[in-house]
Amino acid sequence: MLKIENLSNTIADKAILKGLSLTINAGEIHAIMGPNGAGKSTLAYTLGGRPGYEVTGGSATFDGQDLFELEPHERAAAGLFLGFQYPVEIPGVSNLQFLRESLNSQRRARGEEPLSGGDFIKLAKEKAALLNMDMDMLKRPVNVGFSGGEKKRNEMVQMGILDPKLAILDETDSGLDIDALKTVGAGINAIMRQKEGGPDKAVLLITHYQRLLDYVKPDFVHVLAGGKIVKSGGPELALELEREGYVDVVGAGIAA
């Protein structure tokens, strides 16, 4: 589904990613962990197409397409979803209207018929219920007055409605209490893990801590340090990192 080979980039002429390679297949959940400044969020923003993140080497293909040849909205229409560490507020814009327009713009880009108002409300209710989110919150302006946990739940509802092939979630656990963490983890599993007929989606979780992985079980865990993946393993690697720390597991000089 996603194949990254020797990816390098710069931000304001500063090299961040330095030859990163990663392959994610349909049906897999990958977690990326690493110290501050390692390039975790930079990887997410580069894949999502955020301006200012200049690719200087390597490649990334998504379902066989050259990802970097696509504009951000084209990447979204192709099935890529980027969840932010700090979801933004959009005053004056109804959450429901924002989500309906987002979904229908993607459907039109794929040659599909837009959803009617009634069909969209039915879908929104279904996805909000998975996250224990009251529909009244979806009638409010996007994220305005929401707590940190409510913003993350709202973003997971967005993910459920848009139904992407690949969800890249940048520190979704940031700012969540235990109850919200359980709810968000359950929502990710319910929405993304498997569809009737077999798995067809994938998730890339970016996190500092192992705690989210108690609720979203990854198939693979990777350590990103110094702009590249320096160690990979199964779920036990996250536990080792939590117990021992990055330096003891990966070695000194991991931020170099």
pLDDT at 192 over 70: no
pTM: 0.89
Q: Where are the domains of the chain?
A: 2-250
**What is the per-residue pLDDT for 253?**
52
pLDDT in tens, 131-175: 778 888 888 999 898 887 788 888 888 888 998 999 999 887 777
250 band by pLDDT with thresholds 50, 70 and 90: confident
**CATH match for 2-250 among 3.40.50.10420, 3.40.50.300, 2.160.20.80, 3.40.50.2020:** 3.40.50.300
pLDDT at 239 over 60: yes
Mean pLDDT, rounded, for 60-72: 95
Report CA torsion sign: 89, 124, 102, 156. Answer: positive
Instruction: Concatenate the DSSP letters of all residues of the chain into one string.
Output: -EEEEEEEEEETTEEEEEEEEEEE-TT-EEEEE--TTSSHHHHHHHHHT-TTEEEEEEEEEETTEEGGGS-HHHHHHHTEEEE-SSPPPEEEEEHHHHHHHHHHHHHHHTTPPPPPHHHHHHHHHHHHHHTT--HHHHTSEETTT--HHHHHHHHHHHHHHH--SEEEEESTTTT--HHHHHHHHHHHHHHHS-BTTB---EEEEE-SSSGGGGTS--SEEEEEETTEEEEEE-HHHHHHHHHH-HHHHH-TTTT-
pLDDT in tens, 20-50: 999 999 989 999 998 888 899 999 999 999 9
